[in-house]
Amino acid sequence: MSRIRANQFTDKAGTGAPTFPNGVQVTGVSTLGNTVVGGGTTQLVVTGNARITGILTIGTSSITLDGSSNQVNVGTGVTLHHTNGVQVGGNTLHSTVLTVNNINASGVVTATSFSGSGANLTGIAATTDVRTNSLVVSGVSTVAAGSSAAPSITPTGDTDTGIFFPSADTIAFAEGGSEAARIDSSGRLLVGTSATTSTALLQVQGNSSSSTGGAIIQLRRGTNNVGIINNTALGSIEFSNTESTISAVIAAEADANWNTTNDYPSRLVFSVTADGASSPTERMRIGNDGESSIFGQGSVLNCRTASTSSSADVLMMRNGASSTTTGTVRFSVKGDGDCENTNNSYGALSDIKLKENIADANSQWADIKALRVRKYNFKPETGHSTHTQIGLIAQELELVSPGLVGETPDRDEEGNDLGTVTKSVNYSVLYMKAVKALQEAMERIEQLEAEMAEVKAQLS
């Protein structure tokens, strides 16, 4: 095609610009003023170099080539700038969904969330500050071992409190730069110590530098004192082989209603499982008044001493708070009433220095004469020996000497009061009454013997 001259075309629009009705094809360099090209399918074809020093608009302002600003505008949202790069919505880079194979950032990358496998997260230096509201890791996350002074996992602003890993298969917890607890490689929980010599799965060590720093394990019910009534469970320690099988229990319970301030009566209940049974039964309790009750079969209390000395005390009972207090102690044996030792001798404190208001006892002749000595055997269901015995019936003795009869509340296997009592006989006092009555009988016999001797002398 030959050179085009502007005066070869007409100004149909009256704008002073030539019009090319069938399009323009330029194979070299073309410099035109305001030129309108239109009418054909191909509006403008440039096979060489073309320079636009003004603004070229394609379509209805959808794409604008701005030569003066050296940028390409796509609508009003996207700008390709020769120095700023890609700008979206006025920002250097912004998009709702953006997939990038590689991002190299020398500044700070800020994101409201992150989601991914993390398999390709490499090259993050130890000093890099990566912070998000939440971190989800579906694979394995590795942190440094750390120490008690500088745990590897810490909360913001508290660098000496957190979790660290002092050795293989061991997790430790630090507070204020000191180790507070750890779970060692044997699965043992050690609190206040890092000792490895103990075989206990739980070891708690107190503050050895304080006189009140002994180890304490506290079980709390988790509610205030309102509504605590008799028999309310306060806490328990259960012993079992499996989760569903409980073999023994030490339980703390309310021993009466907690109704007033500083009035919190409690008791300890000890329960074990008998041979042939599948659940624990209460065998001992210590009430709020310190009274201990033992429930069992056979030998309920078996006391023995390792000492071979004949003066060793196997069981000592005193009435008083002081360990040296002495005085009258009531010892009651129920059931068969058998009480024995190797030489069948018994002793009780009787020194005159311990007694006062001493006087002769009144006559016991009538009381002893009124006693009904019975022959009987215990019922099999009572758990006592069923062999034939002789003795007294408490209800009958009560009609003669009520002071010799005691009562003990009946309780079920759980230790609950059944509202009935079992009566017992104070045989130790009864024996003294019998001795007094025997002395009276001896006096009468001696008097009769004297009278008989007189009669014989007169007859002779």
Distance CA 361, CA 439 (A): 11
In the predicted model, what is the mean pLDDT of the chain?
Answer: 77
Q: Report the DSSP beta bridge partners of residue 33.
A: none
> What is the average pLDDT across 66-77?
73
* E strand or H helix that includes residue 270: strand 266-272
How many CB atoms are located within 10 Å of the residue 346 CB?
Answer: 10
Give the pLDDT band of residue 373 (cuts 50, 70, 90): very high
Res 117: pLDDT: 57
How many CB atoms are located within 10 Å of the residue 24 CB?
Answer: 21
Say if residue 447's pLDDT is above 90.
Answer: yes
> What is the average pLDDT across 401-411?
88
Give the pLDDT band of residue 160 (cuts 50, 70, 90): very high
Alpha-helix residue ranges (DSSP H) falling in 203-330: none
Distance CA 374, CA 71 (A): 125
The CA-CA-CA angle for residues 103, 108, 109, to 5°, reads: 50
Res 38: pLDDT: 54
Buried b (16+ CB within 10 A) or exposed e, 391-422: ebebeebbebbeebbeeeeeeeeebeeeeeee
Lowest mean pLDDT among 65-74, 339-348, 373-382, 423-432: 339-348
Distance CA 171, CA 147 (A): 11
SS3 assignment, position 256 = coil
Say if residue 275's pLDDT is above 60.
Answer: yes
Of residues 387 and 436, more confidently modeled: 436
280: buried, middle or exposed (CB in 10 Å: 19+, 13-18, 0-12)?
buried
How many CB atoms are located within 10 Å of the residue 371 CB?
Answer: 18
Domains of the chain: 6-88 (no CATH), 233-294 (no CATH), 361-437 (1.10.10.10)
Nearest C-alpha neighbor of 296 from the set 314, 311, 281: 281
- Give the list of residues 6+ apart from residue 216 with CB closer than 8 angstroms, or none: 204, 206
Q: In what order do the strands lie in the sheet with 71-74?
A: 55-58, 63-66, 71-74, 78-81, 85-88
Say if residue 60's pLDDT is above 90.
Answer: no
Of residues 10 and 427, more confidently modeled: 427
Confirm if 170 and 147 have CB atoms less than 8 A apart.
Answer: no
Max mean pLDDT among 21-35, 64-78, 154-168, 320-334 falls in 154-168
Res 94: pLDDT: 45
Instruction: Fill in the amino acid letter for 275.
Output: D
Distance CA 426, CA 334 (A): 10
Nearest C-alpha neighbor of 44 from the set 57, 60, 54, 61: 57
> What is the average pLDDT across 383-410?
89
Of residues 283 and 298, more confidently modeled: 283
How many CB atoms are located within 10 Å of the residue 351 CB?
Answer: 7
Say if residue 116's pLDDT is above 50.
Answer: yes
pTM: 0.47
CA 210: distance to chain centroid? 26
CA 279: distance to chain centroid? 24
> What is the average pLDDT across 177-193?
91
Alpha-helix residue ranges (DSSP H) falling in 89-188: none
Extract the tokens encoding 74. Answer: 């796509």
- Give the list of residues 6+ apart from residue 25 with CB closer than 8 angstroms, or none: 1, 45, 47
CA 199: distance to chain centroid? 21
Of residues 328 and 44, more confidently modeled: 44
Confirm if 98 and 108 have CB atoms less than 8 A apart.
Answer: no
Share of the chain above pLDDT 90, in %: 30
Kindly report each contact of residues 366-369 with a partner whose C-beta sits within 8 Å and lies 24 or more positions away, as own/partner.
367/400, 367/401, 367/433, 367/437, 368/433, 368/434, 368/437, 369/437
Res 19: pLDDT: 54
**Can you state the percent helix, strand and coil of the chain, rounding each to 5?**
15, 25, 65
Bridge-based pairing state of the strands 162-164 and 171-175: antiparallel
Q: Report the DSSP beta bridge partners of residue 86.
A: 80
Quickly tell me which residue has 């739980």 as its tokens: 202
Distance CA 414, CA 283 (A): 8
Of residues 325 and 310, more confidently modeled: 310
Range list of β-strands (E), 27-129: 36-37, 44-46, 55-58, 63-66, 71-74, 78-81, 85-88
